A and B are shown apart, each in its own frame.
Chain A
């Protein structure tokens, strides 16, 4: 066993990454061109859309809002039907609208269109009597302030609708999609980097022996955290209005500028959350998360390097202590980061499971990437002492936590679906009952559960690099899609989904992020020995065998 092995980040590897980056940029450029081109078709959809939705708008809604909804629906039709065949698209989306009303407002996952109509009527009556400008918003059916909210809140329901329609209007702009993709990839890769630190931390605390030999790989993941910090904060400062609806100031003002007219966009729910969801606090929290994560990563990294040099066992014990500190802070910050960065994109939605659900998704992605690194490094002649027994353990990790992700994902779904109350069910209505997202909803489940579950079921499968490579790639892509499903519906409304531009915009953007991410961690990996040569558990790792 070569304890002084070093990873060399060859110019060949760098070249491949630059090529990936280049292709990504190229695809993205084509995608942007396509998007800009589509927005030229926008107007076409506009006119059809306004006719179609006119019936849904209550008597006192202004013509301006009417135009807004039409506008949106046009965009919707465009995206789904690709080339803007507005005739078929319009009828399509009008069905869609009825369904969404039934589900979004009355929160019944099971109601048919008849009940939908009656619900809608009843609702409109209530709203109209409260002098609310009810606008049957197409993009946003996530109003959680249903009838269950009590009289005070009920009054607001109508306002919210108007507000959402307003929000929806500017969300449709095609640059929002780019901003959303930046944010999506940023959060996804930041999470994987964080999971690298989490992996070494829990291995230290659990006194794991087998993983000592591959420890440097997850350790290197942390090197991306500073970049993620800069990107996150930068994106938040630049695009907070595009990503987070709740950052708009006008939602919190009860009266319009004249001081008498009620602000139709006033949102009592968001006013209630203002103590937590306000931009200064939000930015401070994000800075604190990164400060904690980066400083603890640097600490663990420092001990790891010193252990290499001195071989003193005390660095191991210090690492155990600081890993415990990391785990405690991680337990709190990870959930909060998930609420902040992901859950609050849909500021009315709440789920206590959300933080752990995001953790599960990040964790499986991180495990899959660690496994991929091990397999590929082995293929390139590194880590000769790592054998099928280590792969077996990594395979078990991927298998077990794919099942864990499914567990968390499914419990969250089942409980919300089963209870079917308006406060929360909109989340799944928006994802399960819409043309844009239903296919992805099931795709995510297939790729993230059935695929690893069946492919890694047998012992032999877990012990073979080739199979692990395929499965882990699938897992990473599948969980990227999972994050896509978390973020896209609230930001883009029905304008998301798998279409031709997806192959250029989303894929291109992801390639750019992936190449920067890989470049960073491969550089970090090449800076220190590939094997933590004085790790006291290294002997166990070297002679590891699975019964």
Chain B
């Protein structure tokens, strides 16, 4: 016997039955694209092409097109990379960790979050390839036996670990996402005719819906959840080590791994909220993505935002407590140096404004949530910029102190990833079911309003 406490609010409202779920979600896949979708898609393509031009130029001419200088060797490139990888964290957290924690509210948002993860990781990878300068030699990061003498990757380098961590994360996320899609593709297949039926049938690997198939499906989901849970922690941990294994003041601090992970979840949830709030309205999914879902996500944002806040304060305190002159300088320079505005933006957007979510009214307000979710992502971009750029721009030799000013190619390459991300997401939202129908149906009995 399964019991759901009366204090728990329903997760599916509007008296939805099984067939309503199928109908409400499939109709977006089956219908013609809406005008709003077409406008958005065109807009994304324009950005993609403009960004593509900038990226091509960067590759053709070399990374001298960026605003890097002798002191600041990493700036927007790695900032953007870390930002996108961070965003890519929510998908696996929602689908894997929340699955292990039996959080039923994840079922309505996991599909879109996982898709977002995959696109975000691809965007992140763009910067890794781009910042190599010679992208056609990108395969050199792989430990391949080669004909170049004893040329071999440096296994001691955190950048090397990154290659393994992110490629593993990408692969597992992709498999996880796709396995979840299979039964839903089968549902669409059942309703389709002609060539569509063939395509969706092939995508569903001819899913037969037998009890045995379902049982395998459940087992695979659980195993993948188990496998990807450590990945959620490991990816951003290793990204943080790109900095923390160095001895640059402001980069080398032991709290980096867990604090990066918390920050990643923080920004990932914010991005999921930004996307889902729009999708929810355009696709009329208010009964599936309820205020309860939004409130739960806001609570996660509040928690992780506060963890990040504690980490900022810890870093600052320890920089003073350490008595190490350079450490203290790095932090003073962050907060009061020429980049004070970046630090102030980071503190405001990441630590102060998310505290508004302590108010139930704010947590349950769509407008506030939307605004704050965007603010969080702005803040998280600034966080990476602050960490990367302000730690580098005033190094040990005052004669080489410098400032960074982005060129149009810095901006254009960043725009490229936005174009890419939104193009992919819009295609996903049009041709794939945005909500996991099979899993939502699984909680209808226990957690819908219909039940009560």
A interface residues, Cβ below 8 angstroms from B? 145, 148-150, 153, 207, 209, 268-269, 272-273, 276, 313, 316, 328, 331-332, 335, 339, 348, 350-356, 396, 403, 407-408, 411-412, 414-416, 418-419, 421, 423, 536-537, 539-540, 542-543, 545, 547
Are A352 and B3 in contact, with the CB atoms below 8 A?
A: no
Q: Which 3 A-B pairs have the closest CB atoms?
A: A352-B255, A353-B254, A269-B323
Are B1 and A415 in contact, with the CB atoms below 8 A?
A: no
Are B218 and A547 in contact, with the CB atoms below 8 A?
A: yes
CA distance A547 to B245 in the complex (A): 41
Are A316 and B7 in contact, with the CB atoms below 8 A?
A: yes
Is B121 located at the chain interface by the 8 A CB criterion?
Answer: no
User: In the complex, what residues of B have CB within 8 A of residue A411's CB?
Assistant: 237, 254, 257-258
* A352 with B253, Cβ < 8 A, contacts A207-B8, A537-B5, A542-B3 known: yes
Are B241 and A415 in contact, with the CB atoms below 8 A?
A: yes
Q: Which of B11-19, B307-315, B340-348, B376-384 contacts A (4 or more CB under 8 A)?
A: B307-315
Question: Could you say which of A209, A355, A412, A539 contacts B314, with CB atoms under 8 Å apart?
Answer: A355
Residues from 13 to 57 in B contacting A, C-beta threshold 8 Å: none
User: In the complex, what residues of A have CB within 8 A of residue B233's CB?
Assistant: 407
* A149 with B324, Cβ < 8 A, contacts A415-B244, A547-B218 known: yes
User: In the complex, what residues of B have CB within 8 A of residue A316's CB?
Assistant: 7
* A272 with B245, Cβ < 8 A, contacts A335-B314, A356-B258, A536-B7 known: no
User: In the complex, what residues of B have CB within 8 A of residue A354's CB?
Assistant: 254
Is B146 located at the chain interface by the 8 A CB criterion?
Answer: no
* A536 with B6, Cβ < 8 A, contacts A411-B237, A419-B245 known: yes
Are A543 and B310 in contact, with the CB atoms below 8 A?
A: no
CA distance A312 to B382 in the complex (A): 47
Question: Could you say which of A145, A352, A396 contacts B315, with CB atoms under 8 Å apart?
Answer: A352
Are A331 and B2 in contact, with the CB atoms below 8 A?
A: no
Give the nearest-CB partner of A268 in chain B.
B323
CB distance from A492 to the nearest CB of B (A): 24
* A540 with B321, Cβ < 8 A, contacts A353-B254, A419-B245 known: no
User: In the complex, what residues of B have CB within 8 A of residue A269's CB?
Assistant: 323
Give the nearest-CB partner of B258 in chain A.
A356
Give the nearest-CB partner of B97 in chain A.
A400
CB distance from A303 to the nearest CB of B (A): 15
CB distance from B61 to the nearest CB of A (A): 35
* A150 with B245, Cβ < 8 A, contacts A356-B255, A416-B254 known: no
Known: A148-B326, A353-B257, A415-B257. 16 other contacts (CB 8 A): A145-B323, A207-B8, A209-B5, A331-B310, A335-B314, A350-B321, A352-B255, A352-B318, A353-B258, A407-B233, A414-B245, A419-B246, A419-B252, A423-B327, A540-B3, A540-B4
User: In the complex, what residues of B have CB within 8 A of residue A148's CB?
Assistant: 324, 326
Is B230 located at the chain interface by the 8 A CB criterion?
Answer: yes
Is B416 located at the chain interface by the 8 A CB criterion?
Answer: no
Is B256 located at the chain interface by the 8 A CB criterion?
Answer: yes
Question: Could you say which of A313, A408, A415 contacts B252, with CB atoms under 8 Å apart?
Answer: A415
Give the nearest-CB partner of A344 in chain B.
B321
Residues from 298 to 337 in B contacting A, C-beta threshold 8 Å: 306-307, 310-311, 314-315, 318, 321-327
User: In the complex, what residues of B have CB within 8 A of residue A539's CB?
Assistant: 3, 5
Are A335 and B254 in contact, with the CB atoms below 8 A?
A: no
Are B4 and A331 in contact, with the CB atoms below 8 A?
A: no
Is B144 located at the chain interface by the 8 A CB criterion?
Answer: no
Are B314 and A352 in contact, with the CB atoms below 8 A?
A: yes
CB distance from A48 to the nearest CB of B (A): 37
Give the nearest-CB partner of A272 in chain B.
B323
Q: List 26 A-B contacts (CB under 8 A).
A: A153-B323, A273-B323, A335-B314, A339-B321, A350-B322, A351-B255, A351-B318, A352-B255, A352-B311, A352-B315, A352-B318, A353-B255, A353-B257, A355-B314, A356-B255, A396-B100, A407-B237, A411-B257, A411-B258, A414-B245, A419-B244, A419-B245, A421-B247, A423-B327, A540-B3, A545-B2
Are A415 and B3 in contact, with the CB atoms below 8 A?
A: no
Render B196-237 as a binary contact track against A, CB cut-off 8 A, 1 for contact.
Answer: 000000000000000000000010001000000010010001
* A415 with B310, Cβ < 8 A, contacts A276-B321, A350-B322, A540-B3 known: no
Are A352 and B254 in contact, with the CB atoms below 8 A?
A: yes
CA distance A418 to B244 in the complex (A): 9
CA distance A351 to B317 in the complex (A): 11
User: In the complex, what residues of B have CB within 8 A of residue A145's CB?
Assistant: 323
Are A350 and B318 in contact, with the CB atoms below 8 A?
A: yes
Question: Could you say which of B1, B100, B325 contacts A543, with CB atoms under 8 Å apart?
Answer: B1
User: In the complex, what residues of B have CB within 8 A of residue A415's CB?
Assistant: 241, 244-245, 252-254, 256-257
User: In the complex, what residues of B have CB within 8 A of residue A150's CB?
Assistant: 325
Residues from 132 to 174 in B contacting A, C-beta threshold 8 Å: none
User: In the complex, what residues of A have CB within 8 A of residue B324's CB?
Assistant: 148-149, 423
CA distance A380 to B8 in the complex (A): 33
With most chain A CB atoms within 10 A of its CB, the pick from B254, B321, B325 is B254
CA distance A351 to B8 in the complex (A): 41
CB distance from B13 to the nearest CB of A (A): 18
Are B254 and A423 in contact, with the CB atoms below 8 A?
A: no
Render B111-148 as a binary contact track against A, CB cut-off 8 A, 1 for contact.
Answer: 00000000000000000000000000000000000000
Are A543 and B254 in contact, with the CB atoms below 8 A?
A: no
CA distance A332 to B306 in the complex (A): 10
User: In the complex, what residues of A have CB within 8 A of residue B100's CB?
Assistant: 396
User: In the complex, what residues of B have CB within 8 A of residue A543's CB?
Assistant: 1-3
Give the nearest-CB partner of B237 in chain A.
A411
User: In the complex, what residues of A have CB within 8 A of residue B237's CB?
Assistant: 407, 411
User: In the complex, what residues of A have CB within 8 A of residue B327's CB?
Assistant: 423
CA distance A408 to B321 in the complex (A): 21
CB distance from A199 to the nearest CB of B (A): 15
CB distance from B325 to the nearest CB of A (A): 5
CA distance A423 to B318 in the complex (A): 12
Are A421 and B252 in contact, with the CB atoms below 8 A?
A: yes
User: In the complex, what residues of B have CB within 8 A of residue A416's CB?
Assistant: 254
Give the nearest-CB partner of B261 in chain A.
A407
CA distance A355 to B241 in the complex (A): 19
User: In the complex, what residues of B have CB within 8 A of residue A540's CB?
Assistant: 3-5
